[in-house]
Amino acid sequence: MRCIAIGLLALAAGCATIAAAPPAAEAPAAAPVVVAPTPARPAQPAHEVAKPAPTPTLDVAALKERLRSTSACGVFTKLALKNQMDDLLQQFRARHQSADAGGVATLRQPYDMLVLKVLAVVQDGDPSLARMISGSREAIWGILADPVKFNALA
């Protein structure tokens, strides 16, 4: 009986710890909502968020060049990645040329899969390139998904 009580207390204590965590996590989320009405304050966090952004980013051409020159993978791997990138670019081209501009969204999953493949291939041999690719994922998507930016690639 005592054991059960101790067990329940421990469980309750564990739950209390878990339960205590969300308010702590919610607190920062709630804070901006309170601060939001003041225009000056949201501007400062925006600048603070923008400051860490200067991490080096890549565009598609730069990514291809870095992959071409890295020693993290061999000739066959590089060629297979290039083939798959070209295939994906071809799909983007087809979507942009068709009237259905919203169709690009369906390429997000193949794009993410390809980025993961590239990361898996280079992360051991060239961690800095892996970090750059990871940090550039959204920027590259932004280029690929925008018809104007995409056409400027060619």
Partner 1 sequence: MSTKAGAAALLFPLAMLVASAAPAAADPALLKDLTAVLILLAMPCGEVVSAKRQADNDHIATCKDGNRYRVFINAEGRASAQKL
Should residue 77 be labelled a site residue for partner 1 when binding is judged by CB under 8 A? yes
Contact 123, 46 (CB under 8 A): no
Name the minimum Å distance from CB 151 to partner 1: 25
Which residue has 């979507």 as its token pair? 95
**Is 133 buried (19+), middle (13-18) or exposed (0-12) by CB count in 10 A?**
buried
Nearest residue (CB) to partner 1, 45 versus 74: 74
Which residue has 């992959």 as its token pair? 67
Nearest residue (CB) to partner 1, 60 versus 118: 118
Should residue 117 be labelled a site residue for partner 1 when binding is judged by CB under 8 A? yes
Contact 143, 60 (CB under 8 A): yes
Nearest residue (CB) to partner 1, 63 versus 73: 73
Should residue 151 be labelled a site residue for partner 1 when binding is judged by CB under 8 A? no
Q: Which of 84, 91, 123, 134 forms a contact with partner 1 (CB under 8 A)?
A: 84
Chain positions contacting partner 1, by CB under 8 A = 73-77, 79-81, 83-84, 117, 121
